[in-house]
Amino acid sequence: MSKRASVLFVCLGNICRSPTAEGVFRKLVEDAGLQEQVYIDSCGTSNWHIGKGPDPRSQEAASNRGIDIGGLKARQFSEKDLDTFDYVVVMDRQNLADVKDIWRQNGGTEPTLFLEYGSTGLAEVPDPYFGGDEGFEHVLDLIEEAGQGLLRNIQERMA
Ligand code: 4NP
C-alpha cells in the first residue's frame, strides 16, 4: 500500500453506527497527524435515510465525547465503493453478508467486520436504533476501541 489509505464504514442506515465511526475515526486520524493521508467516509446498505443527518441520539453521544458528526449526510453503499476504498469495514454480520454478496459479483476490496480490528472478542457493533441511550454509549465504546486497532493496522501497512 502507498502512503495513503481510504476507509469506508458501513452499517444499515448510515445514521447511527457508521457516521459515529466516521467521526470517531477522523478524530483518531487527526490526533495521529494523518488527516492528509487517510480518507474516511461512511454509508448504509439500505436506501432508507439517504440525505439525512445522523440520528440526534448519535449526535449527542458523540458530542459528549467532543466529536461533531452533525454535518454528515447519509448515502447508500455502491458496488463502486469496493473498487475505490482500501478498507470496507462493516458493523455487523448482516452488513457483512449484504456487502459480501456484492463483493462476490464485483470483486475489489473484501469487506471485514470492524471489531476484528479490536480486542474485545466481540464481532458486532449492535444496532442501537430501537434501544435506549445506553446503546449509543456502548456503540461509541466499541468504535473507539476498534478504531485504535484499525489505525494501527493502517500505520503498519503504510510503514
Ligand atoms: P444504523 O442504525 O444502521 O447504525 O444507522 C439504524 C438506523 C435506522 C434503522 C435501522 C438501523 N431503521 O430501521 O430505520
Give Cα 135 to chain centroid, integer Å. 17
**DSSP letters for 48-84:** TTTTPPPPHHHHHHHHTTT---TT----B--TTHHHH
Q: What is the pLDDT of residue 2?
A: 65
Which domains, and CATH codes, for the chain?
A: 8-15+31-158 (3.40.50.2300)
If one residue of 49, 69, 96, 129 were mutated to test the ligand 1 pocket, choosing by the most ligand atoms within 8 A of its CB, it would be: 129
Question: What is the pLDDT tens value at each position of the chain, 159 positions in all?
Answer: 469 999 999 999 999 999 999 999 999 999 999 999 999 999 999 999 999 999 999 999 999 999 999 999 999 999 999 999 999 999 999 999 999 999 999 999 999 999 999 999 999 999 999 999 999 999 999 999 999 999 999 999 998
Instruction: Return the DSSP state at 91.
Output: S
Question: Cell numbers at residue 153, please?
Answer: 493496522
- Say if residues 139 and 13 touch (Cβ distance below 8 Å): no
CA of 35 to the centre of ligand 1 (A): 28
* pTM, entire model: 0.98
Q: What is the dihedral of CA 101, 149, 73, 6, to 10 degrees?
A: -70
Specify the residue with its C-alpha closest to ligand 1, atom 8: 13
Which one of 17, 26, 55, 98 is the catalytic residue? 17
Q: What is the pLDDT of residue 159?
A: 87
Atom number of ligand 1 nearest to Cα 11: 3
Q: Which residues line ligand 1 (CB under 6 A)?
A: 11-17, 44, 48, 127, 129
